[in-house]
Amino acid sequence: MEDDEKQEVKEEDENEKEEKKRDLKVMKIKNEEEKKKRKKNARREAGQGQQKYPPKKAHLIASSLLRTTRRTFENKALCVIMAGNVNLVEF
C-alpha cells in the first residue's frame, strides 16, 4: 500500500514538472514573438515619412533613375544617394 502511494506521488510530481517545463517553453516562445513584433513596429515607426532602401538597392534605383533622366530630360535631374535613401533633385 505504501509503495503504491509513493509511486503515485512520484508520478504526480513528474507530471507537474513536465507541465512546468511545457509552460516555460510556451512562455519563451510567446516572449520571442512579442519581441519580434516590437522590433517590426519600431522599424516601421522609425521609417515613417521616409522610405529607406538597403545601399545596394538604393544604388540600383539611383543608377536606373539617372539613365532614364539622361535620356528623357537631358540631364536636368540628378540622383543623390544619402545614407541609403534615394532623393530626386531637379534643377
Q: Where are the domains of the chain?
A: 1-49, 50-91
In this structure, which amino acid lies at residue 22?
A: R
Say how far apart CA 79 and CA 75 lie, in whole Å. 10
Angstrom CA distances, 68 to 45, 58, 72, 79, stand at 32, 15, 6, 11
pTM higher than the cut 0.95: no
Q: Are 73 and 88 in contact (CB under 8 A)?
A: no
In this structure, which amino acid lies at residue 75?
A: N
The pLDDT profile of the chain, 91 residues, written as one tens digit per residue, is 677 888 888 888 899 999 999 999 999 999 999 998 888 887 776 655 555 555 566 666 666 666 655 555 444 444 444 444 555 554 3
69 sits in which H/E element: helix 55-73
